[in-house]
Amino acid sequence: MIRVIIVDDETNAIKNLTWEIEKFCKDVKVLDSFTDPVEAVSAINYLKPDCVFLDVEMPGMDGFELLHQLHFRNFDLIITSAYDRYALKAFREHAVDYLLKPVDSDDLVQALDRIRSHKERHGLGTMIKDMMLDIKEKESKKIALSMAGKTCFIEKNDILYCKSDGNYSELFFSNHKKELFTIRLKELEEILGSGFFRVHNSYIVRLASIKEFVNQDGAHLTLSDGSTVPISRSKKSELLQILNS
């Protein structure tokens, strides 16, 4: 049984989410719900839920301020919001997922499935942390790539993202330039290493270049230069865990 608390200043949003949980998630129990974030702080500290569904924009105290008021933080956090602009901040607060209101039942079920597999994620989390610890060292190294009969030595820190073009890969750089190299994306993925992540069958991004995670109209990333890169559904969960780490 997963014990949850819902915090949202909109009564209808609480009613809708409670209905969806009761209909689609039989092993989930709503302990309580709150429209007042101050009351919610006391309840979370006392009841110690397994999961908290938390709205962001609330009068008096927003969702992130609420988190910083808590003494008890040993729960899985799911942010619910009508806006996608808080997604990256949510994952920095170790959110399991970010659900746009009105909450889609399929997204809700997937988010709670992640909580059910918490023990499995523990093992993956260790692997991800090891990977992230290695990023600084590996990002500073250059890689050698071939193009037009010559070999180029490229600083990995200069790369924003890479796009597949058949037997070639197009690299996009922080100086707004792009170059086409004679290498498949799969081979390039192995060369780039842990500072990069393949978010889509046709795209690899440098993790440090991610500015926003947008979970609306098809999940995608906004990078530091303003460009956007799509995220495939199969890669979304793993990427969220990496950002969360």
Residue 122 lies in a domain: no
6 and 102, same domain (yes or no)? yes
Residue 124 lies in a domain: no
Count of residues in the chain: 245
Gap between the Cα atoms of 179 and 171, Å rounded? 5
| pLDDT value at residue 121 | 53
Whether the pTM exceeds 0.85: the reply is no
The pLDDT tens digits along the chain (245 residues) read 899 999 999 999 999 999 999 999 989 999 999 999 999 999 999 999 999 999 999 998 999 999 999 999 989 999 999 888 888 888 888 898 999 999 999 999 999 988 887 645 554 554 455 455 544 444 446 788 888 778 888 999 999 999 999 999 999 999 999 999 999 999 999 889 888 999 999 999 999 999 998 887 778 999 999 999 999 988 888 888 888 76
97 and 150, same domain (yes or no)? no
148 and 240, same domain (yes or no)? yes
Cβ-Cβ contacts under 8 Å for 232 (sequence gap 6 or more):
199, 200, 201
145 and 77, same domain (yes or no)? no
The CATH number that applies at residue 236 is: 2.40.50.1020
87 and 150, same domain (yes or no)? no
Is residue 159 within 8 Å of residue 178, measured between CB atoms?
A: no
Cα end-to-end distance, the chain, whole Å: 26
102 and 200, same domain (yes or no)? no
Gap between the Cα atoms of 190 and 193, Å rounded? 6
Domain extent, residue 224, equals 139-244
The CATH number that applies at residue 26 is: 3.40.50.2300
6 and 108, same domain (yes or no)? yes
Residue 75 lies in a domain: yes
Instruction: Indicate the number of domains in the chain.
Output: 2
Residue 33 lies in a domain: yes
109 and 144, same domain (yes or no)? no
User: How distant is the alpha carbon of residue 89 from its chain centre?
Assistant: 10
15 and 77, same domain (yes or no)? yes
Q: Give pairs for 229-234: CB < 8 Å, separation 24+.
A: 229/161, 229/199, 229/200, 229/203, 229/205, 230/199, 230/200, 230/203, 231/199, 231/200, 232/199, 232/200, 232/201
11 and 112, same domain (yes or no)? yes
DSSP string covering 44-82? HHHH--SEEEEES--SSS-HHHHHHH-S---SEEEEEES
| pLDDT value at residue 132 | 54
Q: Is the dihedral angle over the CA atoms 108, 110, 115, 116 positive or is it negative?
A: positive
| pLDDT value at residue 234 | 87
Residue 112 lies in a domain: yes
Q: What is the pairing mode between strands 28-34 and 2-7?
A: parallel
